[in-house]
Amino acid sequence: MACGFRRSIAYQLSRLLDLPPENLIKSISAVPISRKEEVADFQLSVDSLLGNNNDHSRPDIQVQATRLAEKLKCDTVVSEISTGQGTVNFKINRELLTKTVLQQVIKDGSKYGLNSELFSGLPQKKIVVEFSSPNVAKKFHVGHLRSTIIGNFIANLKEALGHQVTRINYLGDWGMQFGLLGTGFQLFGYEEKLQSNPLQHLFERLGVHFDEYSGESFYREKSQEVLKLLDSKGLLQKTIKGTAIVNLSGNGDPSSICTVMRSDGTSLYATRDLAAAIDRMDKYNFDTMIYVTDKGQKKHFQQVFQMLQIMGYDWAERCQHVPFGVVQGMKTRRGEVTFLEDVLNEIRSRMLQNMASIKTTKEVENPQETAERVGLAALIIQDFKGVLLSDYQFSWDRIFQSRGDTGVFLQYTHARLHSLEETFGCGYLNDFNTACLQEPQSVSILQHLLRFDEVLYRSSQDLQPRHIVSYLLTLSHLAGMAHKTLHIKDSPPEVAGARLHLFRAVRSVLANGMKLLGITPLQVFLCCQIQHAPHHNGKSIC
């Protein structure tokens, strides 16, 4: 992608360097925008061409960059070639940039950035994602929230890239508490209530769905088969306490010993995970299986994957654990939060209170739903802004800030841009004149839109949503600054039409990114909820 510009540059470089264009594609990157100075559109890292060889000093790399730039020529696509710190920089013909980017965004719609050459040649895979996994004998604990929203993001991203994804919620339905719950229902309860899904309404509120619900109890018998297989391979060792272990180090290192059977012969968590993994391979023949749990289970999954390997399952290397840190300080007004439902209700309550406190707030059809969607966006963005593995301090005040890098800001920006289309779209969204979009604010937005495929690619490689979050927040800030100067109302029709196309492209890409993160974009929001610069005639456009 990058609208074919990256490939065009790669073809010119390939003729000069005698390398296949495909080998050069990922060395050519869109340049991040700068508020301080005008930047090129693409840059080639000379260091990456040299294979990151440490024998090459910085002066050598700079000389190589200069020599390469001197041999390259401008054409109908590239209007200017220069050098930077170890890079060759390319500036795209401005009117071609404008026309191509905006047409590509509208043409590709929800697929913009996903049809990129960065993803070409990557095989479509069968992917299993296990996430959420609450204990059904208890109310949905808030500790499972991160697993739920992170797993949902990973599944969304993989599906968007064309993979066949199976979402599994592996319920904790084992142990004393579940046994007591089941006995209670047998004696006093109603079977239809036990069979109903008490968690479904919470997942619906989160906008999350699953393809399969299974539980540890499903693998009661299969875990016994696993124990027999371990024993037959000489991997099972009995202890003096009657338990069974697998020594993964071979030298008796206590940290490498995994207990797989209690003294009474019943299975443990690791045994049931082994059985579940084997069953899923038989059922789905997956290319990748991803487990989304907190970082406290890192050792557990290392041992499970290692046991699968020594049991002879070479597909164990296709299993991956995505760990995350702990959320600290999540409290409601009533005190410490324990349950997810408390968090969701608190989010909705606080947003409704904010909405009610603003006298000039525009009425929305469903304030409860609007409040919840904005609140969820705020929660997700705060969670996804940092590295997933890191712990973070939760702050109600911070997530609902009307200014700054928050989910509230993203929702507001999307609704504001949608309002522009609703207000002015009918007469202007036919064609546009590229010459009307050459202001610095327009060019910065176009350059940022170019980078979307790289951001998606990066997130697809490390499964970190923060890259997309950062990109969307920057896009929203750019849109806000452009809206202050690139007026539509009272502008000549040709200018207004071009600007409306630009803002529509921003809204489309913003919506795409939000959906990947698990956020439902709002079309109507509280135009006065965010303190923003007024329209040039002193009135809000909302």
- Report residue 542's pLDDT band, with 50, 70 and 90 as the boundaries: very low
For residue 355, tell me if it sits in a domain.
Answer: yes
Question: Using one digit for the tens of pLDDT, what is the confidence trace for 43-70?
Answer: 999 888 776 545 555 568 889 999 999 9
- Structure-token pair, residue 269: 């968590």
Query: Could you give the number of structural domains in the chain?
Result: 3
User: In this structure, which amino acid lies at residue 234?
Assistant: G
- Structure-token pair, residue 43: 């840059």
Average pLDDT over residues 206-213: 95
Greater model confidence, 185 or 4: 4
Measured CA to CA in angstroms, residue 291 lies from 149, 169, 265, 530 at distances of: 13, 10, 27, 38
Active site residue 144: yes
Name beta bridge partners: 88. 44, 83
- Report residue 329's pLDDT band, with 50, 70 and 90 as the boundaries: confident
Which structural domain range is residue 382 located in? 335-517
Model pLDDT, residue 172: 77
What is the b/e burial string over 45-77, where b = at least 16 CB atoms within 10 angstroms of the residue's CB?
bbbebeeeeeebeeeebbebbeebbeebeeeeb
Q: What is the DSSP string of 438-496?
A: -SHHHHHHHHHHHTHHHHHHHHHHH--THHHHHHHHHHHHHHHHHHHHS--TTS-HHHH
Marked catalytic residue, from 71, 107, 111, 141:
141
**Are residues 204 and 309 both part of a single domain?**
yes
Greater model confidence, 351 or 446: 446
Active site residue 141: yes
Neighbouring C-beta atoms of residue 493, cutoff 10 Å: 10
For residue 377, tell me if it sits in a domain.
Answer: yes
**Are residues 354 and 445 both part of a single domain?**
yes
- Structure-token pair, residue 327: 């959320």
- The domain boundary, picked from 302, 324, 346, lies at 324
For residue 98, tell me if it sits in a domain.
Answer: no
**Are residues 425 and 339 both part of a single domain?**
yes
- Report residue 121's pLDDT band, with 50, 70 and 90 as the boundaries: confident
Give CA–CA dist 184/486, Å, rounded: 66
CA dihedral 374, 376, 377, 380 (to 10 degrees): 160
**Are residues 190 and 274 both part of a single domain?**
yes
Model pLDDT, residue 383: 94
Q: What is the DSSP string of 494-534?
A: HHHHHHHHHHHHHHHHHHHHHHHHT----SS--TTTS--PP
Marked catalytic residue, from 91, 144, 414, 418:
144
Angle at 324 between CA 319 and CA 327, to 5 degrees: 155
Q: 126 and 286 in contact (C-beta within 8 Å)?
A: yes
Lowest mean pLDDT of 34-38, 200-204, 380-384, 433-437, name the range: 34-38
**Are residues 506 and 421 both part of a single domain?**
yes
Angle of the 452-462 helix axis to the 145-160 helix axis, nearest 10: 120
pLDDT over 90 percentage in the chain: 64
CATH number at residue 86: 3.30.1360.70
Model pLDDT, residue 338: 66
Question: Using one digit for the tens of pLDDT, what is the confidence trace for 8-39?
Answer: 999 999 999 999 999 899 899 999 998 767 88
- Three-state secondary structure call for residue 214: strand
Residue 445, pLDDT above cutoff 90: yes
Greater model confidence, 185 or 315: 315
What's the predicted TM-score (pTM) here?
A: 0.90
- The domain boundary, picked from 304, 324, 344, lies at 324
CA dihedral 205, 208, 211, 213 (to 10 degrees): -60
Model pLDDT, residue 353: 83
How far out from the chain centre does Cα 521 lie? 15
**Are residues 393 and 453 both part of a single domain?**
yes
- Three-state secondary structure call for residue 221: helix
**Are residues 304 and 402 both part of a single domain?**
no
- Report residue 232's pLDDT band, with 50, 70 and 90 as the boundaries: very high
For residue 472, tell me if it sits in a domain.
Answer: yes
Lowest mean pLDDT of 218-227, 354-363, 428-437, name the range: 354-363
CATH number at residue 366: 1.10.730.10
**Are residues 286 and 161 both part of a single domain?**
yes
For residue 112, tell me if it sits in a domain.
Answer: no
For residue 431, tell me if it sits in a domain.
Answer: yes
**Are residues 426 and 363 both part of a single domain?**
yes
CATH number at residue 204: 3.40.50.620
Highest mean pLDDT among 212-216, 267-271, 460-464, 496-500: 460-464
Question: Using one digit for the tens of pLDDT, what is the confidence trace for 130-178?
Answer: 999 987 766 777 778 999 999 999 999 999 999 999 999 998 764 434 3
Model pLDDT, residue 3: 63
How far out from the chain centre does Cα 140 lie? 23
Lowest mean pLDDT of 78-87, 192-201, 480-489, 504-513, name the range: 192-201
Active site residue 139: no
**Are residues 410 and 512 both part of a single domain?**
yes
Question: Using one digit for the tens of pLDDT, what is the confidence trace for 455-494?
Answer: 999 999 999 999 999 999 999 999 999 999 999 999 998 9
Give CA–CA dist 319/470, Å, rounded: 28
Lowest mean pLDDT of 98-112, 252-266, 318-332, 393-407, name the range: 393-407
Marked catalytic residue, from 107, 138, 238, 299:
138
- Report residue 281's pLDDT band, with 50, 70 and 90 as the boundaries: very high
**Are residues 309 and 351 both part of a single domain?**
no
For residue 262, tell me if it sits in a domain.
Answer: no
- Per the listing, tokens 């060019």 go with 443
For residue 122, tell me if it sits in a domain.
Answer: no
**Are residues 63 and 148 both part of a single domain?**
no
